[in-house]
Amino acid sequence: MVKQYGMSGDIGQVYFSPERDPSFSKQGCRPAAIQRATAEMIDKEIKEIIFGSIQRALDILGEKKGVMDKGAEVLLEKRRSTERN
Residue 75 in domain: yes
Quick one: DSSP state of residue 18?
Answer: P
Residue 71 in domain: yes
Residue 27 in domain: no
Q: What is the pTM of this model?
A: 0.58
Residue 72 in domain: yes
Residue 59 in domain: yes
Distance separating alpha carbons of residues 71 and 82, to the nearest angstrom: 17
Residue 50: partners with Cβ closer than 8 Å, 6 or more residues away: none
Q: Is 53 helix (H, G, I), strand (E, B) or coil?
A: helix
Domain count, the chain: 1
Per-residue pLDDT of the chain (85 residues), as tens digits, is 676 666 677 777 776 766 555 555 555 444 456 788 888 888 898 899 899 999 999 999 999 999 999 999 999 999 999 998 7
Q: Give the domain extent around 68.
A: 35-85
Residue 51 in domain: yes
Q: Is the separation of the CB atoms in 52 and 8 below 8 Å?
A: no
Distance separating alpha carbons of residues 48 and 9, to the nearest angstrom: 12
